[in-house]
């Protein structure tokens, strides 16, 4: 009785890393860092009409220790950046970050003394979402891109960069 | 006569040597005064004219617009019984930006004075807790001064990097 006949019963082979990636990408736990108007679109994305649960990312956690996907939606001020950095460091590896909207990505129209001109100067960003604010479809696209990153990268990487 | 007319006439009669001038805009009058002895005028407003609420205390930077001094501190007082406002402007020079605190007269003053200190760098004599209120403690400079660069002095770039 060979392996082929046994697999015909409904089993399949894979690599452990692929299996881990597959389960990670379909059960992301977002940490919503909503600090301005973009957060409204993020809430719309999470709610029933756009339904981020279709991509396995509906378990919003306001505790960084229980989440692995940071969604920075809104403008970050000088005083908020250390808070954001601290929350990012509290998230366990592996973790990913979406910079949502013009303000988080580059400061947007707020080119003033109080505003951070792009969070990527201080912490890693994996996907940028353009728009002011981006539509929910754009954020869903970003989540799908994060899923692609998860499938293609090594599952046991030590540090996100 | 409205309350503001009463107060301005009374203060001009009693503190003639401290009054620099007066003005009005859309029916709202104000009195320009020297910063020396500002507490006497404010106390007169509170005790003699019933201005029991300090509605706002804010700074203004006029830079080189030909005003009596560069900075002014605006006191917006309210008499709750009459529901009327009174406005006093005290002028503060650039080379010695200091004025007496109004925190003994109104409990609302300390936070507003901390904001003026934060944004304009004016200090309030006798305040007791004059720290920044909105910006980070380590911030350099006072951003609402008109000669402060819009994008700051590089504060936006000088944080440690995280997670790298
Ligand atoms: S990008 Fe636009 S919508 Fe988003 S936080 Fe900035 S101003 Fe608001």
pLDDT tens-place string over residues B81-93: 999 999 999 999 9
Are B10 and B48 a contacting pair, CB within 8 Å? yes
Q: Nearest CB to A113: which of B152, B161, B164?
A: B152
Are A71 and A119 a contacting pair, CB within 8 Å? no
Name the helix (H) or strand (E) containing B61. Answer: strand B53-61
pLDDT band, residue B164 (cuts 50/70/90):
very low
Residue A32: closest CA among A83, A80, A2, A72: A72
Residue A118: closest CA among A108, A109, A126: A108
Q: What local confidence, expressed as pLDDT, does residue B79 receive?
A: 93
Q: Using N-to-C axis directions, what is the helix angle for B38-49 and B3-14, rounded to 10°?
A: 130
Our CA-based measurement puts residue A104 at a distance from the nearest CA of chain B, in whole angstroms, of 13
d(CA A48, CA A3): 45
Nearest ligand 1 atom to alpha carbon A35: 5
Q: Using N-to-C axis directions, what is the helix angle for A136-152 and A16-25, rounded to 10°?
A: 170
- The pTM of the full predicted model, rounded to 2 decimals, is 0.80
Q: What's the mean per-residue pLDDT of chain A?
A: 87
pLDDT in tens, B115-160: 999 999 999 999 989 999 988 887 888 999 999 988 888 777 776 6
pLDDT at A161 over 70: no
Q: Which residue has the higher pLDDT, A161 or B43?
A: B43
pLDDT at A159 over 50: no
Query: Does A118 contact ligand 1 (Cβ within 6 A)?
Result: no
Q: What percentage of chain B has pLDDT greater than the value 70?
A: 96
End-to-end CA distance of chain B: 68
d(CA A123, CA A125): 7
pLDDT at A129 over 90: yes
Q: Assign residue B139 a region (left: φ > 0; alpha: ψ between -120 and 50; beta: otherwise).
A: beta
Q: Is A92 part of the contact surface with chain B (CB cutoff 8 Å)? A: no
Q: Span B69-97, mean pLDDT?
A: 93
Q: What local confidence, expressed as pLDDT, does residue B89 receive?
A: 95
Given an 8 Å threshold on Cβ–Cβ distance, is A113 in contact with B150? yes
Residue A154: count other Cβ atoms within 10 Å of its Cβ.
Answer: 10
User: Checking DSSP bridges between strand B84-92 and strand B98-100, what pairing results, if any?
Assistant: unpaired
User: Checking DSSP bridges between strand B84-92 and strand B53-61, what pairing results, if any?
Assistant: unpaired
């Amino acid at each position: 009785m060979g392996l082929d006949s046994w697999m015909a019963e409904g089993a399949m082979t894979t690599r452990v890393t692929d299996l881990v990636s597959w389960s990670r990408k379909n059960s992301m736990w977002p940490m919503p860092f909503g600090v301005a108007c973009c957060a409204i679109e993020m809430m719309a994305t999470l709610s029933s009409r756009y339904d981020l649960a279709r991509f396995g990312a509906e378990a919003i956690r306001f505790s960084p220790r229980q989440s692995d996907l940071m969604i920075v939606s809104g403008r970050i001020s000088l005083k908020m950046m250390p808070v954001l950095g601290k929350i990012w460091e509290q998230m366990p590896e592996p973790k990913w970050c979406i910079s949502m909207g013009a303000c988080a990505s580059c400061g947007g129209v707020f080119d003033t003394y109080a505003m951070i001109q792009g969070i990527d100067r201080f912490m890693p960003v994996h996907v940028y979402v353009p728009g002011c604010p981006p539509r929910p479809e754009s954020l869903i696209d970003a989540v799908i891109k994060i899923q692609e990153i998860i499938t293609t990268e090594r599952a046991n990487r030590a540090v996100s960069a | 006569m409205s309350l503001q007319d009463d107060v301005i006439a009374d203060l001009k009669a009693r503190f003639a040597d401290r009054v620099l001038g007066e003005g009005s805009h859309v029916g709202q009058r104000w009195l320009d005064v020297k910063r020396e002895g500002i507490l006497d005028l404010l106390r007169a407003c509170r005790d003699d004219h019933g201005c029991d609420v300090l509605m706002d205390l804010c700074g203004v930077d006029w830079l080189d617009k030909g005003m009596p001094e560069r900075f002014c501190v605006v006191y917006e007082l309210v008499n709750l019984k009459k529901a009327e406002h009174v406005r006093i402007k005290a002028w503060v020079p650039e080379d010695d930006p200091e004025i007496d605190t109004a925190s003994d007269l109104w409990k609302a003053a300390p936070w507003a004075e901390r904001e003026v200190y934060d944004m304009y760098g004016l200090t309030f004599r006798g305040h007791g807790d004059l720290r920044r209120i909105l910006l980070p403690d380590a911030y350099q400079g006072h951003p609402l001064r008109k000669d402060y660069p819009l994008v700051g002095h590089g504060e936006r770039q000088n944080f440690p990097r995280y997670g790298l």
